[in-house]
Amino acid sequence: MDYSNLFKGQKIDLTCPNCERKFKIDASLAFKRNSVVNCLGCSEKINLDTTDSRKKLDKIMKDFKKMFK
Ligand SMILES: [Zn+2]
């Protein structure tokens, strides 16, 4: 099962570690390892694996997998 389909079109919150600007990114981005997004505020390249979003998403994924077992 491709879990990324469950999150299609959904957004997750991301906070730039550099300028602390909050913005939303496509949730599907967070499924790829080492996804990099550019901050809208300071153009910092943010590796999603180093942010809280990854942890948040992993938790959501875990809950999802439980539901589908
Ligand atoms: Zn920034």
Q: Please give the C-alpha separations between residue 42 and each of 23, 45, 57, in angstroms, as whole numbers.
A: 12, 9, 24
Q: What is the total residue count of the chain?
A: 69
Over residues 16-58, the pLDDT tens digits come to 989 999 989 888 887 788 889 999 999 999 998 887 767 777 8
Q: Output 41 or 5, whichever has higher pLDDT.
A: 41
Residue with tokens 């997750």: 12
Show Cβ contacts of residue 4 under 8 Å, excluding neighbours closer than 6 positions: 27, 28, 31
Q: For residue 15, how far is the Cα from the chain centroid?
A: 10
Q: Output 2 or 30, whichever has higher pLDDT.
A: 30
How is the chain split into domains, by residue range?
3-67
Distance 56 CA to ligand 1 centre (A): 20
Distance 36 CA to ligand 1 centre (A): 13
Distance 45 CA to ligand 1 centre (A): 8
